[in-house]
Structure 1
Amino acid sequence: MQMDKDRLKRLIRAGRSQVSAHRVIRGGQLVNVMSSEIYPADVAIYEDRVVAIGDVQGYIGDETDIIDATGKFLVPGLIDGHLHSECSKLSITSFAKAVVPCGTTCIVSGLDEYISVSGIEGLKEVFAEIEASPLKVFWGAPYKTPYTFPQSTVSYNFTQETHKEVQTWPECFGVWETVREAVLEEDDDTLGALAEAHANRMPIFGCAPMARGKDLNGYLCAGVRLDHESYDHEEVVEKMRNGMHMLIRESSVTHFLKENIRAVTEVNPALARRVSFCTDDVTATDILEKGHMDHVVRLAIKDGVDPMTAIQMGSINSAEAYRIDHLVGSITPGKIADILFIDSPETFNVEAVITGGKLVSKGRDLTYELNAPKRSAVLSSELKCEKTTKEDFEFRVDMEEGTAEVLSMNVVGPFVRKRRDVTLKVKNHIVQPDTEQDALMVSVVERFGRNGNKSLAFCSGWKLKKGAMASSAAPDDNNIVVMGADANDMSIAVNHLIENGGGQVIVEGGEILEFLSLPVGGIASDLDAKEIAHREALLNAAAQALGCDLPEPLMYMFFLPITAIPDYAITDVGPVDCIALETFDPILGLNPTKG
């Protein structure tokens, strides 16, 4: 995306047809998202840019490559406006191989999970990996790391001083994932990052689920431009009436599109021009079975959005929201030539993909071999923590026998945990998990060798009858999260991850049932999406065999350390009340046995 005077001269001359186009797409129907029109038009491309649309006969030379698009519709490449690609467990290379054939040519991401495990050095390696892939990543510098309140432990703390440096990088396009709590609590590093953004004229990307009224007003006064989290369409409408660009999220576990699109289909169609899409977190299985941003566009059409409007939501609207529309989002002169060939706007099936002016995908497969780079020690998956024992996962109290009243974090959907009071037995000073009452133990183990923290609390909703499961991929801090009905199995699960450099594991009766290795930082893999999807299916089946009936047991579990969502979470510093933003004691009361 770099531009110098010599390159500008070449592009200007190409736009004036003083030099021939490198390739021309002929015979297609152009879906012009700028004018909301569909009409026959050819497209001339020079280097990686569109230089002309319409009648481009004068741009064709002896060496121009002609691409036939007869019977196809030409659509701008799709943009995922907010994505943690790491949550797919696919490396950037593997993720690109999976989503580019679906029509996703750009994503906006903080790459924050990589930062949490490998710092700035690892981030630079990921930037180099992106350069070699057909997927563009518009990077937003995380407002801080970690995102948690109180602050949990990560390998690298992103501060105001970091922002002073990285906001000057050419890769940086804004401040990423600025959560409401950090703004309203006037967190010093957060306000410092935002102050730097104002000075550098950088847009500020938000994360404000359920922000309404005065809290929303205060949040907006910090300069936040857009948000990707609304739990109902009324929230979408209020935010948009107050000037925000809105991203409707449709992830693998949070299906918000059907509800949130009502802001456009039922309340005010005029809002559509400032609505775009994101997936946030998506699994390899879903990409293979449903697609990616193409799937979201199809869902919007199915729910009553006009096809042209849905395509705009998937392309130019997102580009404008993020102030990158001078580069991407439309098939117009001067823009990067990211172009999809689809069957029709109504059905929106992607048949071929051009990125940066080159045909990179045809028939849902890349046209060339794309391999991941050799990984350095910076992005290795060494877990720098001591092995555990079963005693680490036994909740001990100052009472030998009796019962304990405990607060169990009850999962209600992947992003909401509510209070559930449970009475559990105490034997030999240990509070006993109870599978009949669906009360399990849960812990987060610090894995960066900084303090050795291990937290312990109670959770409900997974319905495990035995065994344990653990993951070293667990945003926002990617420490090891483990839950189970048996302390020994929990210890075995954690130790298996430590011994094998991270991943996800299911254990029962002291035996490893399933294991997925995540050698890239302990959070991702260079395996193809098909292989990751296969392993996901085996992990899910193993969890279900232990009694869990959630659709994505491990994904629901690894969201537990996120403190920006209601009402409870757990990090390495302890269980967290996400409303009070402080740790709490899960023991509400002790009732000794009367002797």
Structure 2
Amino acid sequence: MEKVKQYIDAAMGRIKADLVLKNASFINVFTESIDRGDIAIVGDTIVGIGKYTGDVEMDCSDLYVSPGFIDAHVHIESSMIMPKEFAKVIIKKGITSIIADPHEIANVEGMSGVNFMIDNSKQAPIDVFFMLPSCVPATKFEDSAYVLNAEDLEKLINYDKVLGLGEVMDVPAVINNDEGMLKKLDVAKNKLIDGHCPNILPGELNACLSCGVRTDHESTSVKDALLKVSRGMYVMLREGSAAKNLKAILPAVNNQNFGRFLFCTDDRHIDDLLESGSIDNCIRISIKQGLNPIKAFIMASYNAAKCYNLKDRGAIAPGYKADLVMFEDLKGVNIIKVIKNGKEYKESRDKKHVKVNVKSSMHMDFIDSEIFKVESEASAVNVIKLIPNSLETKLVQRKTENKLGYIKRIIDKDILKIAVFERHHKTGKHFVGFLEGLGLKNCSIAQTISHDSHNVIVVGDNDKDMEVAVNSLISIGGGITMVSGGRIIAQLNLPIAGIMTLEAPYMVAEHLKRLSRIARGFGVRNEYDPFISLSFMALPVIPAVKITARGLFDYNKFGFIKLIVK
């Protein structure tokens, strides 16, 4: 009651506000205009727009003010750092709220991994909301460490920071009335449900929508985005480290439908976050591509808040949370200050050291280079072909040259061996295939980051180097390893589930940049992120062909296909 009285008295000008942003030019998300006035704040809430005085006043005469940005869909684990550290990086980029899906760590550590992410995020300087992982594993064709069912999700679905069910990637399970999937959808029936619908057919889209799926971040064409919006979906324009679909689908945004579009990063490495940004980067790209700047800021804030029923944020108006971004240039988004919960954000050093009980997540035997030999008497194989700046791939057939019953080489250039090894249950499952387009030469890269089950994935043009790379990963407990000439030339240790580290963001970024420079030096093309592009070659819920520890997976058939073409 007293707080409400204080709001009213400050709004009426009877008492001073705690903080006033004087003479601010601010984004009005309701009128799609830039308005001018004082923004009065009491506690963490905006109480008035007009003429006000405050205990603290900031002159904003030469600044623009926007509602805090919201990342509508992000996997924190892809940054390789802890949620708290992740938040400290992105708040400087104007992001004050995120909707996180912790399915990466859930595939390795189960519900204990989800709880770890939630607990660590409580110390974050931003608001971290969660969508519970719906697909662990992504499909029944994968080998994850854990399987999460509806009973697992029920334990957290009513937690105040949980908004609903994370991206439903197994579309066939939905349209075929899979009982386990239907139970998960039922758990979240009174909350929000995210989708994952690449190249979905109209009938399948209807089925997903009819059971509560409301968002999608996998559109790669204007036609696909417009279909989803026309059926009532919110469509996210994604700009990650590898998946960069923003420019491709931005032309779908128009004056009539822009309220159904929002921004997300999905998977973004820490070096990209530090150097290029997050949602602020999405805004800059969109404006540069011709989108009206005010619409870009609304998509980055109010649209995301509406989509996720975050009714207390996303706008600059009385009664809304005082999460604000102050910047100089409307197009360049040069951020000067960030206000979070009514206070200017200033980074402080942590006195407490975060303790994490780290145990090895590597449960597999050392391998021998003989394992990479591929038996064949035929003259052709199915090959995964990369598509620049996309997570999608093509299925192509290439001719082979054989010797003594094994493939000696692929006749076409720029084709590498790629293999996935199950690492969670010591099953020995593995599969060897071929990858085209990466450009890597005289080097092997192995890593425990391979979406979403996070088994070991390795690529290279030399069986011995691939052996050394995989075995070194086992020795260090997970991460990224690069090998050339039988020698380890670079490593990044990721002891937490094989996908995250306790190191500081800037240190991890420097390690990644060094590894990327080395990878480029060995021929990896600029249109691919060496490590994120590789990691998504193991995710079978993205078209058109991927590789798992069980074999070569065709998304369109939603089943395995033969490697050898007879």
Work out whether the TM-score is over 0.5: yes
2:304 corresponds to which residue?
A: 318
Alpha-carbon distance in structure 2 between the residues aligned to 1:444 and 1:372: 39
Alpha-carbon distance in structure 1 between the residues aligned to 2:554 and 2:248: 28
Q: Does 1:110 align with 2:110?
A: no
Alpha-carbon distance in structure 2 between the residues aligned to 1:382 and 1:374: 20
Pick from 27, 38, 48: which aligns with 1:42?
38
Alpha-carbon distance in structure 1 between the residues aligned to 2:68 and 2:352: 23
Deviations 1:303-322 (A, max 9, x none): 22222111101000011011
Residue 576 of structure 1 aligns with an amino acid whose one-letter code is F
Residue 17 of structure 1 aligns with an amino acid whose one-letter code is D
Matches within 5 A, 1:299-314: 299-314=285-300
Unaligned runs of 5+ in 1: 1-8, 362-366, 590-595
Give yes or no for contact 2:379–2:401 (8 Å, CA) kept in 1. yes
Give yes or no for contact 1:153–1:450 (8 Å, CA) kept in 2. no
Give yes or no for contact 2:17–2:52 (8 Å, CA) kept in 1. no
1:382 corresponds to which residue?
A: 361
Alpha-carbon distance in structure 2 between the residues aligned to 1:435 and 1:314: 48
Cα 1:573–1:13 shift into 2, 3 Å? farther
Q: Does 1:215 align with 2:204?
A: yes
Pick from 258, 278, 292: which aligns with 2:247?
258
Q: Does 1:408 align with 2:383?
A: yes
Give yes or no for contact 1:433–1:441 (8 Å, CA) kept in 2. no
Alpha-carbon distance in structure 2 between the residues aligned to 1:540 and 1:463: 13
Unaligned runs of 5+ in 2: none
Q: Secondary structure at the match of 1:82?
A: strand
Alpha-carbon distance in structure 2 between the residues aligned to 1:558 and 1:170: 32
Cα 1:47–1:456 shift into 2, 3 Å? same
Deviations 1:9-36 (A, max 9, x none): 3432332237864433333223221333
Q: Which moved more, 1:85-94 or 1:577-586?
A: 85-94
Give yes or no for contact 2:165–2:192 (8 Å, CA) kept in 1. yes
Q: CA RMSD in A?
A: 2.3
Alpha-carbon distance in structure 2 between the residues aligned to 1:373 and 1:280: 28
Pick from 274, 292, 299: which aligns with 1:288?
274
Give yes or no for contact 2:85–2:124 (8 Å, CA) kept in 1. no
Structure 1 residue 477: Cα displacement: 1.1
The TM-score with structure 1 as length reference comes to: 0.88
Give yes or no for contact 1:435–1:485 (8 Å, CA) kept in 2. no
Pick from 123, 137, 147: which aligns with 1:146?
137
Alpha-carbon distance in structure 1 between the residues aligned to 2:401 and 2:124: 55
Give yes or no for contact 1:443–1:456 (8 Å, CA) kept in 2. yes
Give % identity: 28
Give yes or no for contact 1:294–1:349 (8 Å, CA) kept in 2. no
Residue 473 of structure 1 aligns with an amino acid whose one-letter code is I
Q: Which moved more, 1:211-220 or 1:294-303?
A: 211-220
Structure 1 residue 103: Cα displacement: 0.7
Residue 408 of structure 1 aligns with an amino acid whose one-letter code is V
Residue 283 of structure 2 aligns with an amino acid whose one-letter code is V
The TM-score with structure 2 as length reference comes to: 0.92
Give yes or no for contact 2:106–2:133 (8 Å, CA) kept in 1. no
Q: Does 1:339 align with 2:324?
A: yes
Q: Does 1:514 align with 2:490?
A: yes
Deviations 1:165-192 (A, max 9, x none): 2212222101111123332233322221
Give yes or no for contact 2:402–2:409 (8 Å, CA) kept in 1. no
Alpha-carbon distance in structure 1 between the residues aligned to 2:27 and 2:231: 31
Give yes or no for contact 1:116–1:478 (8 Å, CA) kept in 2. yes
Give yes or no for contact 1:422–1:439 (8 Å, CA) kept in 2. no
Alpha-carbon distance in structure 2 between the residues aligned to 1:10 and 1:433: 77
Alpha-carbon distance in structure 1 between the residues aligned to 2:459 and 2:409: 11
Alpha-carbon distance in structure 2 between the residues aligned to 1:190 and 1:581: 17
Structure 1 residue 372: Cα displacement: 8.3
Give yes or no for contact 1:248–1:256 (8 Å, CA) kept in 2. yes
Q: Does 1:173 align with 2:150?
A: no
Q: Secondary structure at the match of 2:257?
A: helix
Alpha-carbon distance in structure 1 between the residues aligned to 2:352 and 2:565: 50
